[in-house]
Amino acid sequence: MKVVDVVRTMEAVAPPELAEDWDNVGLLAGDLDAAVRKVLVCTDVTEPVLAEAVAAKAQMIVAHHPVIFQSVTRVTASETPVVFEALRRGIAILAAHTNFDAAIGGTNDALADVLQLVDRRPVTPAGLGGRCKVVVFVPPDDLPRVAGAAFAAGAGRIGRYRDCAFFSHGIGSFYGEEGASPAIGVSDRHEITEELRLEMVCPRAKAAGVCQAIRSAHPYEEPPIDTYVLEDFPPGCGAGRIGKLKRPVTAQTLIARLKKAVGVQRLLVAAAAGEGGADRKGMLVTTAACFGGSGGTAFRKAVAQGATFYVTGEMNHHHALEAAAAGMTVACLGHGRSERLAMVRLAARLAELHPKLKVIPSQRDQDPFSVV
């Protein structure tokens, strides 16, 4: 088996297209053609985890958090020691981060299983704020300039590939009315001209900028630009999970389930007092939500959908106050702890998909914080 085989499996389990625009997922270090017999699965690629991989004679690490997140200008023993040592040892590193969070069976589904949620759905479904396709018709001689402007504005990226586009040949026609200044031909008569159809995908958030870049680079007075929304993810993909409980239970019961699942005795819990000063942790919960890692402001969407219990990895002080004031009980597991359960399950899944591949869940992958 080769590294590329594991990469393809992970792309099926956690499609790269599900990753947030700011994320860095996929194969971050290593050789696609290198042989692999043993894989270590972890949340963070730290020096102890890398030493564990070396001791286990693993040829590859599958991690949740990217070991290379921002751009690096050099890979040296002093500036990027973990990446340098992994490459020196011939160990490939793959990251499945926000794409694994959003995937079916990923980080958030693991938490939803602990809560025992049924009829679950994403808090924010994939596709809302997802991708679109931009299409423009352009004269052949102007194609490089127009395509280049669109790529620079954020179009044409698919997974680990950039400047992706499709071109097809055709004939366009127009009639420039009085006052028009056509780039080809003259006004006040019908014109027929050779054109190329240029198609590119882009994030919806960047579509307006891409269209503006095309207009600026296009020779036509009125460039013909079309945008199409792409909804190509299976139902159930997206950020967070929300659902009903099999039967209503108290928030305290859900907290106990979480403690048992992640193996801790204490959690950070935020909850406003109920009427008459009653402890909300004793109130029944019928709808709950989860968001692995950093819950940020996603709890607002969960509240709007009826959730009264919310589990995440971490939440800042003011968001916790806001969530509690909205009648929600929030349980924070710790960023890494909220994700590690899913990585253990991922190791089992990889082993099932590749019986000849030895897959090891890391034993030295630890949360940086502990409760003392």
Residue 168 CB burial class (10 angstroms; 0-12, 13-18, ≥19): exposed
On whether both 141 and 75 belong to a single domain, the answer is no
Domain boundary among 187, 205, 230: 230
**What is residue 279's predicted lDDT score, i.e. its pLDDT?**
62
| Whether 21 and 39 share a structural domain | yes
Q: Is residue 64 assigned to a domain?
A: yes
Does residue 224 sit in the same domain as residue 246?
no
Q: Quick one: DSSP state of residue 334? A: -
Instruction: Tell me which residue of 264, 300, 273 sits closest to 372, measured CA to CA.
Output: 264
d(CA 173, CA 182): 12
Say whether both 97 and 19 belong to one domain.
yes
Give the pLDDT score at 289: 98
In a domain, 367, yes or no: no
The pLDDT score that the predictor gives to residue 131 is 78
345 and 308 assigned to the same domain:
no
Which tokens hold the place of 59? 């040829």
Q: Indicate whether 151 and 196 sit together in one domain.
A: yes
- 98-101: long-range contacts at Cβ-Cβ below 8 A with a sequence spacing of 24 or more? 98/18, 98/19, 98/20, 98/23, 98/25, 98/239, 99/14, 99/15, 99/16, 99/17, 99/18, 99/19, 99/23, 99/25, 100/13, 100/14, 100/64, 100/342, 100/346, 101/239, 101/292, 101/293, 101/339
What CATH number has the domain bearing residue 18?
3.40.1390.30
Domain assignment present for 372? no
Beta bridge partners of 40: 61, 360
Angle among Cα 2, 71, 40 to the nearest 5 degrees reads 35
Residue 233 has a pLDDT of: 73
Length of the chain, in residues = 372
Residue 302 inside a domain? The answer is: yes
Please list the rounded mean pLDDT of every run of 10 residues in the chain (372 residues): 95 90 92 97 97 97 94 89 96 97 96 97 79 92 95 86 92 79 73 90 89 94 88 82 95 95 92 61 90 93 96 95 94 94 96 96 90 76
In DSSP notation, 221-247 reads: SS--EEEEEE--SPTT-EESEEEEEEE
pTM given for the model: 0.75
Q: What whole-number distance in Å separates Cα of residue 349 and Cα of residue 370?
A: 29
| Structural domain contains residue 51 | yes
Which distant-in-sequence residues (6+ apart) come within 8 Å of 56 by Cβ?
Answer: 38, 40, 360
Domain-located, residue 158: yes
The CATH number for 189's domain is 3.30.70.120
Task: Judge if 325 and 245 occupy the same domain.
Answer: yes
The answer to whether residues 299 and 345 belong to one domain is no
* Packed helices 107-115 and 337-353: angle between N→C axes, nearest 10 degrees: 110
User: Which residue range is the domain that position 184 belongs to?
Assistant: 131-230
Q: What values do phi and psi take at 86, rounded to 5?
A: -60, -45
Q: Could you tell me if 252 and 215 lie in one domain?
A: no
Name the domain count of the chain: 3
Collapsed DSSP state (helix, strand, coil) of residue 66? coil
Per the CB < 8 A criterion, the answer to whether 218 and 136 are in contact is yes
Q: Is residue 11 part of a domain?
A: yes
- Residues 29 and 43 grouped into a single domain: yes
Same domain (yes/no): 309, 187: no
Q: Is residue 366 part of a domain?
A: no
pLDDT of amino acid 205: 80
**Cross-strand pairs, 225:** 136
Domain boundary among 173, 196, 230: 230
Q: Which of 175, 195, 230 is the last residue of a domain?
A: 230
Closest CA to 145 of 227, 229, 220, 228: 220
| Same domain, residue pair 118 and 244 | yes
